[in-house]
Amino acid sequence: MCMNSGLLIGFDYDAKRAIVARANCDQWTCKECSARMASRWILRAGMGTRALLGQGDTVDFVTITSHEKLKTFADTERVWRSAWSTLYAALKRKKKALQFFTVPEKHKDGRMHVHSLWNANVSQTWLKNNARKRGLGYQAKVIHVTDASRVASYVGKYVGKDLGADVPKGFRRVRTSQNWIDIPAPNNGLMGLTWEYVTSNGALEIIYLECHAKSIALIDYETGEIWDDIDLGTTVSSQVSKIYKEGRGLS
Ligand SMILES: [Zn+2]
């Protein structure tokens, strides 16, 4: 459970109840969130591979290296970004319905390697030549994937692995083509709720007031029991405190 973020409160006004759940910060630096996000991505890698194999596509796990003259992660990442747009175009010419699932790796020497699952069906020689032409390393590897259950061990090594400090801001840990299959949203009755995101004690107290006034029961999502209080670690403004006290007949 992520401890960095606030609460998500989902109101069902008709049923006079609200579900309280811990929000996630979704930061790769957060131990809880990175573990959760990594396992989701690994699941999605396997799902996509299974779907492609199922429709008779060839799936490869490829490794593309960076140019040997580039020494830092930031430099290799910058060159990769421009190289990818033309490499992508070349791959699209090979496979119109191209699908990919790409994970970067920070290699021992600090430079970026890129691993991708894709259905481009290009040979190792083609990839070596085409990567090199675009300023990437001359070493590339193509492994045929015939068993989708192997994919977790391929990408699991890299998804969520620490990339160190010189990673550009907003750097995405996994990139997929738009058509790479997604995990369906759970159909668990939470979808129709009106959600509010609460990050401070003051905002939480206003929720308490509202629920009290409208006889709405607050339910803990984890336990299914009546929600117990939580300290979100912020100072309550005197104004909120006043409203709160008035609402509870304390002033
Ligand atoms: Zn978190």
Domain with residue 65: its CATH number is 3.30.70.1910
30 in a domain, yes or no?
no
Residue with tokens 């021992």: 108
| Spatial contact of 80 and 143, defined as CB atoms under 8 Å apart | no
**pLDDT per position as a tens digit, 236-250:** 777 777 766 666 565
How big is the chain, counted in residues?
A: 251
Same domain, 58 and 167: yes
What is the pTM (predicted TM-score) of this model? 0.81
Confidence of residue 56 (pLDDT cuts 50, 70, 90): very high
Q: Give 8 Cα–ligand 1 centroid separation in angstroms.
A: 13
Asked which of 172, 201, 218 is the last residue of a domain, the reply is 172
Q: Give 160 Cα–ligand 1 centroid separation in angstroms.
A: 13
Q: Give 229 Cα–ligand 1 centroid separation in angstroms.
A: 20
- The number of domains in the chain is 2
**Contacts by 161-168, CB closer than 8 A, 24 or more apart:** 161/105, 161/106, 162/106, 163/73, 163/104, 163/106, 164/73, 164/106, 164/110, 166/72, 166/73, 166/74, 167/73, 167/74, 167/77, 168/74, 168/77, 168/78
Average pLDDT estimate for 204-212: 91
Same domain, 168 and 192: no
Q: Give 147 Cα–ligand 1 centroid separation in angstroms.
A: 33
92 in a domain, yes or no?
yes
pLDDT score, position 248: 59
Q: Give 177 Cα–ligand 1 centroid separation in angstroms.
A: 26
Determine the angle formed by the axes of helices 238-247 and 201-213, rounding to 10 degrees: 20
The CA distance from 182 to 87, in Å, is 24
35 in a domain, yes or no?
no
Q: Give 9 Cα–ligand 1 centroid separation in angstroms.
A: 17
Angle value at C-alpha 57, between 51 and 63, nearest 5 degrees: 95
End-to-end CA distance of the chain: 37
Same domain, 79 and 151: yes
Confidence of residue 189 (pLDDT cuts 50, 70, 90): confident
Same domain, 161 and 222: no
Same domain, 72 and 145: yes
pLDDT score, position 247: 61
The CA distance from 211 to 220, in Å, is 14
Q: Which residues pair with 218 in a beta bridge?
A: 18
Same domain, 166 and 193: no
33 in a domain, yes or no?
no
Same domain, 62 and 167: yes
Range(s) of the domain holding residue 110: 51-172
For residue 115, pLDDT over 80 is answered with yes
The CA distance from 207 to 52, in Å, is 47
Same domain, 150 and 213: no
Q: Give 237 Cα–ligand 1 centroid separation in angstroms.
A: 26
Asked which of 109, 144, 172 is the last residue of a domain, the reply is 172
For the chain, give the percent of residues with pLDDT over 90: 65
Q: Give 33 Cα–ligand 1 centroid separation in angstroms.
A: 4
The dihedral region occupied by 135, where left means phi > 0, alpha psi between -120 and 50, and beta the remainder, is left
63 in a domain, yes or no?
yes
228 in a domain, yes or no?
yes
pLDDT score, position 55: 96
Same domain, 127 and 71: yes
Q: Give 21 Cα–ligand 1 centroid separation in angstroms.
A: 13
Closest CA to 127 of 97, 73, 90: 90
Q: Give 30 Cα–ligand 1 centroid separation in angstroms.
A: 5
Largest CA distance in the chain: 79
Same domain, 129 and 192: no
Asked which of 140, 172, 204 is the last residue of a domain, the reply is 172
37 in a domain, yes or no?
no
Q: Give the single-character DSSP code of 107.
A: -
Same domain, 68 and 126: yes
Q: Give 40 Cα–ligand 1 centroid separation in angstroms.
A: 14
Q: Give 199 Cα–ligand 1 centroid separation in angstroms.
A: 13
104 in a domain, yes or no?
yes
Q: Which residues pair with 8 in a beta bridge?
A: 21, 197
For residue 166, pLDDT over 90 is answered with no
